[in-house]
Amino acid sequence: MDFKDYYKILGVAPEADLKTIKTAYRKLARKYHPDVSEAKDAEAKFKDVAEAYAALKDPEKRAEYDELRKYGQDGQSFTPPPGWQPNGNHSGDFSDFFESVFGGGAPHTQSRGQQTQHKTHFSFRGQDIETELPIFLEETLSDENKTISYHLPQHDKEGRRLADINKTLNIKIPKGVNDGERIRLKGQGGAGIGNGGSGDLYLHIRLIPHPLFDVEGHNLIITVPIAPWEAILGTKIEVPTLAGSINLTLPANSQTGKRLRVKGKGLPGKTGTGDLYAVVKIVIPEKTSEDTTKLWETLSEKTTFNPRSEWSKT
Amino acid sequence: MIETSLTVELSLEDICELAKLPTEVMITIVEEGVLEPKGEAPEEWCFDCYMLSIAKRAVRLHRDFDIDWSGIPLYLDMINELEKLRSENRTLRQRLGRFLLEE
């Protein structure tokens, strides 16, 4: 177990007053709070910050910590001095270090509040687990079986935290799930203690970006590259969908940005299946032969088309 | 095979247990407009899974930033808006990327 320098975590001097500590906490909380931050390690960072604040805002805890701080250095291995008796009774999802200093708390409770304590043993409902589940667009087309694995926290009878175990489940992803939806798996979270039931597992659906298709609600968008002459003359194009490909008729004189709707080839949803939109993008060849260049020159001489006519109006 | 569910109906008692909140606090949360369960009286209230995640978020904001329950709906709206805009921005950037060439 490593020593944690709570002053360093909050970026304050060891003699800082409560007001400074509170201001530092607020500032870091706004930066790293998992509900507002996009930073990759926001959750872990915020946990450290909240833990440091919990230790330093309470004068008793702070005095205990200052006493211990004489024996430890940030990031170095730490064992409480012989005879150290943690006397606090807190509850919160804090580190082993915090618990060894201030006493073993109850397992994580969202509110860090109410707990049920009987005379001789605890009863806790197990922890709810939330985890992201990235899925491919193809996997939303039908009910899919998927194997997921996640870390499950373990506690002994007294509520002390043990090493996490890795749990694997075979689950069914219902057809038509969409980005941001949550799936609840009852009783698949952390085990309860005493008479407490198991917690639940919540899977937070994330659609993995597709190399060809963009998602807009339940509609899909595919960008269709076409040659300039195809844009002018029109053509038939084989367009991929999530399940097989379809033939699409591109009408003559199709501009870049033109959207062609293919009904019912989008993502399935509760209110019906979305559509696929093919968006035209005119591309030119990387190299042009001498013969072709001559043809373009002829074209350029014969046409009166002014693509920038809009500009001359102002 | 484990049963999965997208739509879950929770009573006041259920959601209090799942969000680990005393009933009085949950009633305050509803009265302040953080959650809008179906049903009139508290014993008829019916919550869903999405509301549970909002309740948990509301509790975090209340605890970690000392925000009054009456102010929570505004913060929730703003966070929602932020998430919506971030997601929209990601999607539009991805779509724009298909038309722009690397310099």
Q: Which residues of A touch B79 (CB under 8 A)?
A: 35-36
Mean pLDDT of chain A: 85
E strand or H helix that includes residue A26: helix A18-32
CB A110 within 8 A of CB B20: yes
For residue A297, being part of any structural domain is answered with: no
* Tokens (6 digits) for B40: 């009139």
Predicted confidence band of residue A112 (pLDDT cuts 50, 70, 90)? very low
Claim: this prediction has a pTM higher than 0.95: no
Residue A113 has pLDDT above 70, yes or no: no
Taking only the tens place, the pLDDT of each residue in A49-77 is 999 999 899 898 898 888 888 776 766 77
Range of the structural domain that residue A201 is part of: 129-207
A173, A207, A241: which is the final residue of a domain?
Answer: A207
* Tokens (6 digits) for A75: 């990031």
Residue A107 has pLDDT above 50, yes or no: no
Nearest CA in chain B to A146: B1
A67 & A11 share domain: yes
**What are the beta bridge partners of residue A154?**
A162
Taking only the tens place, the pLDDT of each residue in A181-218 is 888 888 898 888 877 888 889 898 999 999 999 999 89
Q: Which residues of B touch A33 (CB under 8 A)?
A: 60, 64-65
What is the separation of C-alpha B59 from the centre of its chain, rounded to a whole number of angstroms? 10
Contact: B4, A209; criterion CB under 8 Å: no
A20 & A86 share domain: yes
A222 & A198 share domain: no
Residue A17 has pLDDT above 90, yes or no: yes
A262 & A198 share domain: no
Contact: A33, B65; criterion CB under 8 Å: yes
* Tokens 């060809």 sit on residue: A212
B60: helix, strand or coil: helix
Which CATH number belongs to the domain containing residue A63 in this structure? Answer: 1.10.287.110
Q: Which residues of B touch A221 (CB under 8 A)?
A: 95
Picking from A27, A57, A184, A185 by the largest number of B CB atoms within 10 A of its own CB, the best residue to mutate is A184
A225 & A248 share domain: yes
For residue A19, being part of any structural domain is answered with: yes
* Tokens (6 digits) for A39: 């930073």
Picking from A93, A110, A170 by the largest number of B CB atoms within 10 A of its own CB, the best residue to mutate is A110
A106 & A11 share domain: yes
User: Above pLDDT 70, what percent of chain B?
Assistant: 92
A207, A234, A249: which is the final residue of a domain?
Answer: A207
In chain A, the number of structural domains is 3
Which CATH number belongs to the domain containing residue A150 in this structure? Answer: 2.60.260.20
B15: helix, strand or coil: helix
Residue A279 has pLDDT above 80, yes or no: yes
A113: helix, strand or coil: coil
Q: Which residues of A touch B49 (CB under 8 A)?
A: 182, 184, 202
CATH topology of domain B9-102: Multidrug-efflux Transporter Regulator; Chain: A; Domain 2 (1.10.1660)
Taking only the tens place, the pLDDT of each residue in B24-62 is 999 999 999 999 999 989 999 999 888 988 999 999 999
A18 & A68 share domain: yes
| Those residues with Cβ within 8 angstroms of residue A310's Cβ, 6 or more apart along the chain or in another chain | none
Strands A129-135 and A201-207: parallel
Q: How far is B63 from chain A (nearest CA, A)?
A: 8
Task: Return the half-sphere exposure (C-beta side, CA atoms, 13 A cut-off) of residue A264.
Answer: 1
For residue A124, being part of any structural domain is answered with: no
A174 & A230 share domain: no
For residue A37, being part of any structural domain is answered with: yes
A95 & A192 share domain: no
pLDDT for the residue numbered A299:
94
A158 & A176 share domain: yes
How many residues in total does chain A contain? Answer: 314
For residue A1, being part of any structural domain is answered with: no
For residue A98, being part of any structural domain is answered with: yes
